[in-house]
Amino acid sequence: MVKSQSISQQQSLLLVIDIQGRLAPAIDHARDIVHSADRLLNVASELQIPCIFTEQYPQGLGTTVEQLSSHLPNATLFEKIHFSAHRETDFANHLKQQERPQIVLIGTESHVCVLQTALDLLAAGYQVFIVEDAVGSRNPSDKGLALARLAAAGAVVVSSEMVIFEWLERAGTDSFRHISKTYIR
Tell me the C-alpha distance between 55 and 37, whole Å.
15
The reply to whether 96 belongs to the active site is no
Tell me the C-alpha distance between 185 and 130, whole Å.
20
Query: Which residue out of 38, 51, 80, 133 is catalytically annotated?
Result: 80
The reply to whether 143 belongs to the active site is no
- Bin 129: left if φ > 0, else alpha if -120 < ψ < 50, else beta: beta
Tell me the C-alpha distance between 83 and 98, whole Å.
22
CB 129 within 8 A of CB 49: no
Query: Which residue out of 18, 38, 120, 133 is catalytically annotated?
Result: 18
Angle made by CA atoms 162, 164, 169, in degrees to the nearest 5: 90
Tell me the C-alpha distance between 103 and 155, whole Å.
10
CA neighbor of 119 nearest in space, from 87, 78, 93 = 87
The reply to whether 18 belongs to the active site is yes
Query: Which residue out of 113, 120, 133, 143 is catalytically annotated?
Result: 113
CB 137 within 8 A of CB 111: yes
Q: Which residues are catalytic?
A: 18, 80, 113
